[in-house]
Structure 1
Amino acid sequence: MNTNQVTFREATIQDLDRIVYMLSDDVLGNKRELYKQPLPESYIKAFQSINSDPNNELIVACYGEEIVGVQQITYTPFITHQGGWRATIEGVRTASLERGKGVGSMLIRWAIQRAKERGCHMVQLTTDKKRPEALHFYKKLGFKASHEGLKLYL
């Protein structure tokens, strides 16, 4: 793949099948995602909510017509940091056949640039502790493990 030919755009409902497939196509994703035909209604509702919210973007990376990556960017205003905005990157996946070819780095760099355009003062993300290679990947891109993240599943 020639990464110079990778483009980025907002996802459409027609992309949802490919997106859910990519989310489910790894060791952790295949335990928490449910890729089947037809797609569960929960994915369609989530897409509609993201798509209708101006502070959320579901971005796909495309090589020609083929979707080779995805990420969600959420923009949040905060009272802290003098009322600044931050961007949170979630759900980053590269198609399994394209991993290690630079698409993931391009996705993150695109999100950082987009956050700057939106006036954000910070970009943040989380990665599962079961993915040490992902932590290394994000550190190579300049991210610092500055906080301890906590979650409570409901």
Structure 2
Amino acid sequence: MSTEVAIRDLGVDDVDALLALYQHLNAGDAPPSPEAVRRVFAHPGLRHFGRFDGAQLIASCNLAVIPNLTRGGRSYGVIENVVTHADHRGQGHGQAVIRHAIAQAWAMDAYKVVLTTSRKDPAVWAFYERCGFSSSDKRAFVIRAPAAG
């Protein structure tokens, strides 16, 4: 690893590196259209963070900060698409990018941050608990769109 490890916001210029990193999250995912990329990066309240080792993107997550009318009008955050390059796992990069996203949510006056995972591996759950998340606070339910017919 180089000595220059940094976390920063990702933008449209980082899409190729981000999509390559996402192959370590969901191998074989179809790439988004250029229009989808533009929509995602233009969406207010949605930020993508990347941890770089020199010029290489090695970990990422995104944070959506959602306006809210409960909790005194304080927003809440949702972290998704947490991924670390397979060659860099177990070195604290994923935890660093998640902690960065959480700090950004607190800076935007969010009252909570939610993260869900489809992973069934207890080691993954323990990782999120080390990042400060609790699995006993809420229960998540998911519904997926029906397959296009």
TM-score, normalization by structure 2: 0.86
> Which SS does the other structure have where 2:6 is aligned?
strand
CA separation in 2, counterparts of 1:67 and 1:108? Answer: 15
How many Å separate the matches in 2 of 1:62 and 1:142? 23
Q: How many residues align?
A: 144
Counterpart for residue 97 of structure 2:
107
Quick check: 2:75–2:111 contact (8 Å CA) kept in 1? yes
Question: What pairs with 1:17-36 in structure 2 (closer than 5 Å)?
Answer: 17-26=16-25, 29-30=26-27, 33-34=29-30
TM-aligned CA deviation for residue 129 of structure 1: 4.1
Which ranges in structure 1 are unaligned for 5 or more consecutive residues?
Answer: none
Question: 1:8 corresponds to which letter in structure 2?
Answer: I
8 Å Cα contact 1:71-1:89 kept in structure 2:
yes
Change (3 A) 1:132 1:48: farther
Query: Percent identity among equivalent residues?
Result: 24
Quickly say closer, same or farther: Cα 1:62–1:152, change in 2 above 3 A.
Answer: same
Q: Which amino acid aligns with 2:100?
A: W
- 2:67 and 2:11 map into 1 onto residues whose CA distance is 26
The 2-side partners of 1:5 and 1:87 are apart by 29
Identify the match of residue 120 of structure 2 among 130, 136, 147: 130
1:46 aligns with 2:36: yes
The partner residue of 1:150 within 124, 138, 141 is 141
Distance 2:140 2:41 in 1: 27
Give unmatched runs, 5+ long, in structure 2: none
d(CA) in 2 for partners of 1:49 and 1:95? 25
Displacement, 1:13?
2.4
Larger displacement relative to structure 2 (124-133 or 87-96)? 124-133
Please tell me whether residue 94 in structure 1 is matched to residue 84 in structure 2: yes
Alpha-carbon RMSD: 1.8
State the 1:126 CA deviation: 0.4
Residue 14 of structure 2 corresponds to: 15
Question: Structure 1 segments of 4 or more deviating over 3 A?
Answer: none
Q: Aligned AA for 2:5?
A: V
Report the Cα offset of residue 103 of structure 1: 0.2
Counterpart secondary structure, 1:150: coil
Q: Check whether the contact 1:85–1:120 (CA below 8 A) recurs between aligned residues.
A: yes
Deviates more, 1:7-16 or 1:66-75: 7-16
Which has a greater percent of helix?
Answer: 1
Mark the CA change 1:92 to 1:129 in structure 2 (over 3 Å): closer, same or farther.
Answer: closer
